[in-house]
Amino acid sequence: MNNTVIAYYPGCSGKGSSAEYDLSTRTVLRHLGVDALEVENWSCCGSSPAHAVDHVLSAALSGRNLARVRSMGHDLVTTPCPSCLSNLKNAAHAVRDDDVRAKVNSLLDEECPTDVEAISTLQFFLEQVGLDTIQEAVVNPMPTLRVVCYYGCLTTRPPKLMCFDDPENPMSMDNILECCGIEVIPFPLKVDCCGAAFGMPRNDISSRLSGNILNMASELEADAVVVACPLCQMNLDLRQNQVNKACGTHHQMPIFYFTQLMGLSMGLSKKNLGLSKLAVNPEPCLARAGVR
């Protein structure tokens, strides 16, 4: 995988709440010989509000970013964030319709391309880097680290749009982490809801749903939960105290991004994987797994 250059869309959370996801993703990609080129002058993908207000506006916001990718001479863009991915994919799909494309283009300075594809970095790791290459890079397997993979709602859904992995029982992260020498426990709630954006308006709902996931992980005697979505991570990690309070539990469950564990297994420094950014301290768990 030497000197592959890909267009990379970090999304807003990559620059803020999930800076460690962005950092660890870039670190691991670089280590595997992939140069992640940030989309020049990228803008908001529309996030949750845009498509709730206006589909054309939402398509235009993401369409602009697709146009940026095209102007860089790329026809593939990867993003670590499932929500960004969903918006980019939706826009690419919507502008195939002539009417929608005309409306979108009337809002943009540059024409929205119809031939730029967006995929998740998870899919990129699995399909373009490949499990063999990942396995070759592993120098520090962690066989005593027991984790569960939690995919959330958007990683594989809606299936006809995402065209990736099984929507009911995804295995992509499980397979990657097993390649990294980590023990992955089958997790029945891997596509359940974490509460998503309800953390703010209805914290009670969000806490209950996130609580279910943490309870199940803990019952399965997992050392940590591994995720691929900044919002899932926030609900499970940053809000873990809220969940504990609401559910009367005492979880101290580290919530890793899968790229952080990939990096650790490849012997990359904790600093470059942003481990200190996690709210629940992962150190005790890593110490038990023999990671220094």
Partner 1 sequence: MHIGVFVCHCGSNISGTVDCPQTAKAAGEFPDVVYSTDEMYTCSEPGQESIIRAIKEHNLDGVVVASCSPRMHEATFRRTVERAGLNPYMFEMANIREHVSWVGRDKALNTRKAIDLIGMAVAKLRNGTPLFSERFNVTRKLMVIGGGVAGIQAALDAADSGIEVVLVERETTIGGKMAKLDKTFPTIDCSSCVLGPKMVEVAQHPKITLYAASEVDNVSGYVGNFTVQVRKRAVYVDWDACTGCGLCTEKCPSRKTPDPFNELIATTTAINIPFPQAIPKKATINPDYCLQLTKGKCGVCAKVCPVGCIDFEQQDKIEEVQVGAIVVATGYDLFDYSVYKQYGAGKLPDVITSLQYERLLNASGPTGGHVLRPSDGAEPKHVVFIQCVGSRDKSKGRAYCSSFCCMYTAKQAILTKSHLPDSQSYVFYMDIRSPGKGYDEFTRRTQELYGAQYIRGRVSSIHQHGSSLVVRGADTLAGMQVEIKADLVVLAVGIEPSRNSQKLAATLHISADTDGFFMEGHPKLKPVETNTAGVFLAGCCQGPRDIPTSVSMGSAAAAKAMVLFSNEQLESDPQVATVNATRCVGCYKCVKTCPFGAILESEDRWKNPKAEVLPTICKGCGICSVTCPHGAIQLNHFTDNQLLAEVNAICPLPTI
**Interface region with partner 1, contact rule CB under 8 A, candidates 50-58, 72-80, 164-172, 249-257:** 164-172
134: left (phi over 0), alpha (psi -120 to 50) or beta: alpha
Q: Which helix (H) or strand (E) holds 220?
A: none
Q: Does 219 bind partner 1 (CB under 8 A)?
A: yes
Q: Which residue number, 26 or 190, has a Cβ lying nearer to partner 1?
A: 190
Which listed residue (28, 59, 189, 232) binds partner 1 by CB under 8 A?
189
β-strands 142-150, 76-79: how paired? unpaired
**Interface region with partner 1, contact rule CB under 8 A, candidates 72-80, 167-175, 201-209, 283-291:** 167-175
Q: Which residue number, 49 or 188, has a Cβ lying nearer to partner 1?
A: 188
* CB of 86 closer than 8 Å to CB of 155: no
Q: How far apart are CA 290 and CA 292, in angstroms?
A: 6
Q: Does 188 bind partner 1 (CB under 8 A)?
A: yes
Which listed residue (1, 168, 284, 290) binds partner 1 by CB under 8 A?
168
For 216, list phi and psi in degrees, rounded to 5: -65, -45
Tokens 């596509």, residue? 191
**Interface region with partner 1, contact rule CB under 8 A, candidates 85-93, 162-170, 172-180, 196-204:** 162-170
Q: Which residue number, 88 or 191, has a Cβ lying nearer to partner 1?
A: 191
Which listed residue (40, 110, 166, 204) binds partner 1 by CB under 8 A?
166
Q: Does 135 bind partner 1 (CB under 8 A)?
A: no
Q: How far apart are CA 37 and CA 173, in angstroms?
A: 23
- DSSP string across 45-58: --HHHHHHH-HHHH
The number of C-alpha atoms within 13 Å of 1 and in the hemisphere containing its C-beta is: 24
**Interface region with partner 1, contact rule CB under 8 A, candidates 50-58, 143-151, 160-168, 275-283:** 160-168
Strands (E), 122-174: 142-150
* CB of 270 closer than 8 Å to CB of 145: no
Which listed residue (17, 128, 133, 169) binds partner 1 by CB under 8 A?
169
Q: How far is the CB of 218 from partner 1 (least distance, A)?
A: 13
Residues that bind partner 1 (CB under 8 A): 166-169, 188-189, 216, 219
